Each structure stands twice: as C-alpha cells, then as structure tokens.
Amino acid sequence: PPIDQNHYKNINKRSETNIMAKSVITVVKSNKHEVTISRDESIVIIGERINPTGRSALQKELKAGKFDIVRRDAVAQLEAGASILDINSGLPRADEPALMVQMIKEVQDAADDPVICLDTANVKALEAGLKYYCKDGAKPMINSVTAEGKSLKAVLPLVKEYGAVIIGLCSGDDGIPKTAEKRLKNTDTIIEAALKMGIPIENIVIDCLILTLGVSGEAALEAMNAIDMIVEKYGVNITMGASNISFGLPAREQLTSFFMAMSAVKGLTCPICNPLKKQEVIAMNAANICLGKKKGVMNWIKTSRALGID
C-alpha cells in the first residue's frame, strides 16, 4: 500500500529541526584542563567510579583514611576516556565536608588536576569542596539540584557564588516522574529558578533521570522523549546516570551502551558512566562519528587502534 502523505511530512520536519544544530556551549575547567560540552563536540564522559555507594571495598578504605582506590580510579578513568571525574563523598557516618576536600586533593594529586563533578546531597560538603576547588578560575560541575523548593534554595546560591555548572535532576516533590512531560515541567522549574538568580543557561545541565527497564518497559522511551523535549526547548546539555537503564538485567554493559548511543541521537552530551566498561566508550565514539561531531572520524580511528580493535 502507498505510504500516506504525513509520512513524508514527518521526515521533512525531522530534518528541518535537526537537534544537532541546536546547542548551548558549556565550559568546565580545573586550573590545568578545560572541557567543552556541546552537541558539536565529542560526547564528554563523566567517570562515575569514585563513589562509595554500594562499593564496600572503597567504603572500607575511606573509613580507614586510605585513598589508594580513589587515586587509581581517577587515573584509570581518565586513561579510559573520561574527561570529568564525578567525586561522591557520601560515606555513612563520615565527616563529609572533610572527606570531600580530601578526596578532591587525592584526585588532583594522582591525576594531574582533572575537571571534577562534586556529587553530594550534603550542602556542607558541597560548600567545603567548592571553597577548596574553585581557585584561580577553576569551574567544576555540581551534582546536583532538583526542582524541589528546598533543594533549589540550598544549592543555587552556591552555584551562583562559585560560578559552577549545575546538574539539574528533573525530579520534583513527587519524586522521579514517569512521563516526559512531567520531566520537562520540573526542568522548567529548575531553569526558571536558576536564570532568575543570574545563573546563565550554559551553566545548567539537565539529567532526565533514567528509570529501570526491568521495572518499566517505557523507561528508555520516556527518558529519550524527555531529552528530545528539553533540548528542543532550551538547547541545554544533557547528562544521565546511564547504567540505571539496565539495573537488574543481564548483559548490562551492552544494554547501557546501546541506550547511551540512542540517547546521543536525541541530544545526550555528557553521560555519567563507567569508562572502564569498554563498550560504553566505544558506543560514545560511534555516536561521535555517526552524528558528525568534530574530529569524529579521526577519533574513531585513533581510539579503535588504542583499544587494539582493527
């Protein structure tokens, strides 16, 4: 049967509104390194591993005041393709402000002062980390703020004071919304509040919050729809804790990788993931070359060789 006229209209509309054209440029930096996040540039990997949550060996070390794993993970993740390192200081019963500062110091010392993402729900730890890290123009990411009034009020003043980049989680008073529309609504709340405080749009990165496919068969679709809508409306950079998609399922690395590549088409620019999982890095390199990002072809050849794949 002939394809109806609307089919062609939709295809034309798609190419007219190519999301790759629309992008806010976000810059983060340490004193030694600068990272640009934009839909024109290679996807930026935020390494997730420096996080004691659910990692008993790391918890044990941190409790004993040791930082060997932190230092090793910092170096290994950068070598594997991360450009930013997430540092989560959420250790139960710890002096979190002091721990955050020490973790930052260890990472800076071990890995030549990388760009970091301060990941904590503890505002005192966040403030201590920012006070220590933000010298001489260093501009980190902060992970994170939500659309809840209490969160916005506690975190946005620090974002403004230190000129940092904030990750806005599109959750609100009722937790993580199931639908893309409600995620957009929470994004509206965060962006409006930040702009009102004088935080520029390029310093806001949105996390659409990935639910688990094993729980909801719509989890990936709703997240990708949310990315689509948020990018269409604001052009902001998009992050996500990618591995949530595959929680509890087999072949996690493969599933997470494919989902990340699909999300890249929608406008994902800076996933939080584990770069030691090679498939995830390969998927992002494939997205870079297929989406025509700067140096995509050159980097595909270079990184494939480095991985020993011919």
Q: If binding is defined by CB under 6 A, does position 244 make contact with ligand THG?
A: yes
Q: If binding is defined by CB under 6 A, does position 89 make contact with ligand THG?
A: no
Where are the alpha helices (H) located in the chain, listed in sequence order?
Answer: 5-16, 56-63, 68-80, 96-110, 123-133, 149-162, 180-196, 219-234, 252-266, 278-290, 296-306
Piece of 18-26, 46-54, 66-74, 289-297 that binds ligand THG (CB under 6 A) = 46-54
DSSP 19: G
Residue closer to ligand THG by CB (options 145, 289) is 145
**Which residues are 47's β-sheet partners?**
85, 273
Residue closer to ligand THG by CB (options 38, 143) is 143
HEC-encoded secondary structure of 32-99: CCEEEECCCCCCCCEEEEECCCCCHHHHHHHHCCCCHHHHHHHHHHHHHCCCEEEEECCCCCCCHHHH
The rounded distance, in Å, linking the Cα atoms of 209 and 244 is 9
Q: Are 271 and 48 in contact (CB under 8 A)?
A: no
Q: Which of 82, 103, 167, 284 touches ligand THG by CB under 6 A? A: 167
Q: If binding is defined by CB under 6 A, does position 51 make contact with ligand THG?
A: yes
Around Cβ 60, how many Cβ atoms within 10 Å? 12
Q: If binding is defined by CB under 6 A, does position 28 make contact with ligand THG?
A: no
The rounded distance, in Å, linking the Cα atoms of 197 and 174 is 24
Report which residue type is found at 71.
R
Q: If binding is defined by CB under 6 A, does position 48 make contact with ligand THG?
A: yes
Report the residue number whose CB is nearest to ligand THG: 241
Residue closer to ligand THG by CB (options 38, 243) is 243
CB of 108 to ligand THG, least distance (A): 20
CB of 50 to ligand THG, least distance (A): 9
Residue closer to ligand THG by CB (options 20, 90) is 90
CB of 247 to ligand THG, least distance (A): 8
The rounded distance, in Å, linking the Cα atoms of 66 and 181 is 45
Contact pattern from residue 177 through residue 216 relative to ligand THG, giving x for each residue in contact according to CB under 6 A and a dash for the rest: ------------------------------x---------
Which residue bears the tokens 């002091």? Answer: 98
Q: Which of 80, 110, 238, 272 touches ligand THG by CB under 6 A? A: 272
CB of 6 to ligand THG, least distance (A): 37
Residue closer to ligand THG by CB (options 106, 280) is 280
CB of 243 to ligand THG, least distance (A): 5
The rounded distance, in Å, linking the Cα atoms of 117 and 125 is 13
Q: If binding is defined by CB under 6 A, does position 241 make contact with ligand THG?
A: yes
Query: Which tokens in the block code for residue 8?
Result: 């062609």
Determine the angle formed by the axes of helices 96-110 and 68-80, rounding to 10 degrees: 50
Q: If binding is defined by CB under 6 A, does position 148 make contact with ligand THG?
A: no
Give the interface with ligand THG as residue ranges (CB under 6 A): 48, 51, 54-55, 119, 143-144, 167, 169, 207, 239, 241, 243-244, 272
